[in-house]
Amino acid sequence: MLWVIQAIGLTSNPRRELPPTVDDVSFEARSGRVTALLGTPGAGKTTALRLALELQQGRGITYFRGRPLHRIAHPTREVGVLLGDVPGHPSRTVRGHLRMLCAAAGLPVRRADEVLEVVGLIGLCDARLGTLSRGMDRRLGLACALLADPHTLVLDGPADGLSIRESRWLHGILRAHATQGGTVLFATRDPKEASRTADRVLTLEQGRLVADQEATDFSRTRLRPRVVVRTPHAARLGALLTKEARSARRSVEIVREGGNRLSVYGSTCAEVGETAFRHGILVHQLADEIGDMGPMRMPMATPPSTPGLDPSSADGPQPSVEGSHAPAAGPRPPMADPPATIEDPHPSAEPLQTPSGPCRPSGESLPPAVEAPRSTESPRSTESPRSTETPPSAADGEQTPAETPEAPRGRPRASVGNPQASTRVQEADGPVPLSGRAPATDPLPPLPPRITVRPARSPLRPVRYELRRATGIGTAYVTAAAVLVTSALTAVLLARIGHTPQPRLLAAWPRELPLPPAALGAGLLGALAFGDEFRHPALAADRGTVPRRLGLLAAKLLVAAATALLLAFLTVGCDLEVLYLVYGRELTSPPADWFALGASWLGLVVGCAWAGVLAAGVFRSTTAGLAAVLGVPLLVVPLVQKVLEGPTVRTAAGLPLRLREHVLVQWPFGGERYLAAAARVIAQPVGGALLLSLTVLLCAYLMTTMRSRVR
């Protein structure tokens, strides 16, 4: 049997004198099975998952199919992660968010629609992320995890806050993924959910693994059927039940749970109700439910070296007994009747009053995308057999070309040769005592089709991602419109006042301002390129932080430069058009040295955009990026002016002639002209300050990138 996830010695770093949240946790998860990590709040479930995914610093190592996550070339195609809410920009659409992730992973754009159809969000593809409900957000998170067709799914509390129907659907998706050969590891705090959904249950308590059991063993040792009674005469009813049990020589355990509530183990609703009726005791509630025996205790002071524990050593503490013939420490009494099926995935103080079937609170409704999911006749639809005599291959569904065994990656097919996947399908239909899992009479939900083509690394992949990230929300469009309007109004105002040189008039750059509106807008858009990444880390769902890859930086610099050039041309064009409409041709004639001035103008706007990108990438903040752009004319320019005092313009003008004396080949196409223009731009105080700032920021970014890789 293939061990897909192997976690060895996971230990979190302790804080001050506090013990570590996770202490020497080792476990394994198999292919084709669903594994639950169970624990109360604060037991260390989330920390253990983050340590396994290398999202948190600590000790230990986790192997995914024999390799740690940082050694896997495409981690998103190996492990799908769902930890908390979807980290996306609230103004981005559902489809736009998934298409952006497809561009980052090198997947075709149609993959987004395929996954949206499976999770039931195709009707909400144009909805904004900030308007999604809790259930829709969890569906989108699952869509992001399934996007790259990973072999392993790692989820933290996937059903938290969901309704009963949505929880059933999500658990069906997890079961379908495991049935087709994938691996599922999810964390939960509900023992009933773990017993009903998982094949194997790992129990954490105070940061240590205290039990590693099959679901049937876990149900037998942790969950027991009981009768819950609420009556104002709880003490009297408990004494009468104890007396009748002794007379009939039956083993009955009665636990007083405070107030007027009794939990009766080893009896039935009929017996308890008849006793109360005969003695005239008022009963407010009488119901069957599955009881939780509480956290498991280890018999040893230190955890065992292997993750697996004998089920018999994991019994929880014995409940207090008011009166019975059952021994104080021994096997549990046999149940009198089969337990009722309880479909409530969330424990509460009030048990369900209608245990015969699922229920949803009145008034709760689901959107059309939830009420009508995609038809189960998809090629990935997998229907569980109706009886254990059905051959396991019946759960495979219809063979399609995209699901051939020659696929180089992804989940293996569930077939006769894969007993891990087929065995669980048989178990789902048979009676599972004490677990509360209903017989699998409904087909499993469909999964997205396989991706058989594995695209190679392409330098255009981060560029496509950056283009979709920048154009997916309206911030860039609003900023550009504000820059154009502000620049046009400023140009008209400067022309009316007069005494403004024409180059500054066309750029709408008054002497009182450190930078023109176009340069400030380009710097803001550049700062947003990295600022939005750290504020809404869509790429960091499975990496913990925004990746500092040089390819991503180059893509952001390229897109920022293109945006800045477009903004610069549009600004000058709008200023010329507005000045022509208001004052005629008098102020719109091109200056004599338009080439050098144009080069300086474009260099200024592009330099501000790059300064915003690099500063936001170094300091992880949009505000820091914009502050770096404003700091160039206010702080760096005065320093550069002192350094460049003297005949710098004359020296730059004579540079091409002096270079020509040392080069035998003539400059082609008048190259000395372009070189002179570039030299003039650099020799100017603002140009020199920008070049100095960009050099410092680029070196700082490279140093932080190298330090993160060393860690």
Model confidence over 652-707: pLDDT tens digits? 555 555 555 555 455 555 555 555 666 666 656 677 778 888 989 999 988 888 76
Identify the weakest region by mean pLDDT among 246-250, 478-482, 685-689.
Answer: 685-689
User: Average pLDDT in the 471-495 region?
Assistant: 94
Least confident of 70-74, 196-200, 605-609, 624-628: 70-74
Examine residue 282 and state whether it is found in any structural domain, yes or no: no
pLDDT for residue 710 is more than 80: no
pLDDT band at 3 (very low <50, low <70, confident <90, very high): low
Among candidate residues 551, 503, 692, 501, the one with its CA nearest the CA of residue 104 = 551
Average pLDDT over residues 342-357: 36
Tokens of 143: 């869509």
| Helical pair 594-619 and 622-631, crossing angle rounded to 10 deg | 140
Could you tell me which residue, 448 or 678, shows the higher pLDDT? 448
* Candidate ranges 387-401, 406-420, 540-554; pick with highest mean pLDDT: 540-554
**Predicted local distance difference test score (pLDDT) of residue 192:** 87
Instruction: Write out the H or E segment, with its range, that includes residue 587.
Output: none
45-49, 66-70, 592-596 — which one is most confidently predicted on average? 45-49
- The mean-pLDDT minimum among 16-30, 91-105, 419-433, 667-681 falls in 419-433
In a domain, residue 284? The reply is no
Q: Which carries the bigger pLDDT value, residue 498 or residue 8?
A: 8
Residue 670 falls inside a structural domain: yes
pLDDT at residue 269 is higher than 60: yes
Q: Could you count the other beta carbons within 10 Å of the beta carbon of residue 166?
A: 22
Residue 284 has pLDDT above 80, yes or no: yes
Tell me the three state secondary structure of residue 254: strand
Structural domain of 650: 460-710
Where does 498-593 have alpha helices with state H? 502-507, 517-535, 550-583
Q: Is the per-residue pLDDT at 275 higher than 80?
A: yes
Contacts (Cβ under 8 Å, ≥6 apart) of 652: 676, 679, 680, 682, 683
Instruction: Please determine, for residue 274, whether its predicted confidence score (pLDDT) is greater than 60.
Output: yes
Q: Which pLDDT value is given to residue 440?
A: 46
Given pLDDT bands bounded at 50, 70 and 90, which one contains residue 597? confident
Task: Write down the pLDDT at residue 333.
Answer: 37
Under the banding of pLDDT at 50, 70 and 90, the label for residue 574 is very high
Residue 563 lies in a domain: yes
Mean pLDDT, residues 222-228 taken together: 82
Look up residue 149 and give its two tokens: 């067709």
Do residues 289 and 351 touch, judged by C-beta distance below 8 A?
Answer: yes
Read off the pLDDT band of 548 (50, 70, 90): confident
Q: b/e per residue, 251-264, with b = 16+ CB within 10 A?
A: bbbbbbeeebbbbb
**pLDDT surpassing 50 at residue 499:** yes
Q: 521, 71 in Cβ contact below 8 A?
A: no
Flag the least confident range among 216-220, 435-439, 506-510, 680-684: 435-439
Max avg pLDDT among 90-99, 221-230, 376-385: 90-99
Query: Given this model, what pLDDT does residue 669 score?
Result: 54
Between CA 624 and CA 524 the distance in angstroms is 10
Q: Is the pLDDT of residue 627 over 70?
A: yes
| Predicted pLDDT at 577 | 92
Quickly count: other Cβ atoms within 10 Å of residue 706's Cβ.
10
Under 8 Å CB-to-CB from 150, ≥6 apart: which residues? 76, 77, 78, 79, 80, 182, 410
The answer to which of 67-81, 348-362, 477-491 has the lowest mean pLDDT is 348-362
Whether residue 217 lies inside any domain: the answer is: no
User: Kind and range of the H or E element at 702?
Assistant: helix 685-710
Task: Please report whether residue 548 resides in a domain.
Answer: yes
Task: Report yes or no: 76 and 511 within 8 Å, Cβ to Cβ.
Answer: no
User: Which pLDDT band holds residue 519 (cuts at 50, 70, 90)?
Assistant: very high
SS in 3 state form for 124-153?
HCCCEHHHCCHHHHHHHHHHHHHCCCCCEE
What's the pLDDT at 290? Answer: 73
Locus of tokens 């270079």: 659
**Continuous H helices in 287-367:** none
Q: Considering the entire predicted model, what is its pTM?
A: 0.70
pLDDT at position 406 is 35
In this predicted structure, what is the pLDDT of residue 629?
92
Looking up tokens 């920021």 gives 697
List C-alpha distances in Å: 191 to 195, 202, 482: 6, 11, 55
Please determine, for residue 467, whether its predicted confidence score (pLDDT) is greater than 60.
yes
Q: How many domains does the chain have?
A: 1
**Sheet strand arrangement including 208-214:** 79-83, 152-156, 183-188, 34-38, 200-205, 208-214
pLDDT of the residue at 403: 36
> What are the pLDDT digits (tens) for 60-104?
999 999 999 888 888 888 899 998 888 889 999 999 999 999 998
Burial of 406 by CB count in 10 Å (0-12 exposed, 13-18 middle, 19+ buried)?
Answer: exposed
Residue 539 has pLDDT above 90, yes or no: no
Mean pLDDT of 583-592: 80
Distance of CA 215 to the CA centre of its chain: 28
- C-alpha to C-alpha distances, 644 to 601, 636, 676, nearest whole angstrom: 20, 12, 17
Mean per-residue pLDDT of the chain: 75
Percentage of the chain exceeding pLDDT 90:
39
Question: Per the domain annotation, does 538 fall within a domain?
Answer: yes
pLDDT value, residue 106: 85
Residue 116 covered by a domain: no
Q: Which of 196-200, 369-373, 436-440 is predicted with the least confidence, judged by mean pLDDT?
A: 369-373
**Mean pLDDT across 327-352:** 36
At 162 the pLDDT is 86
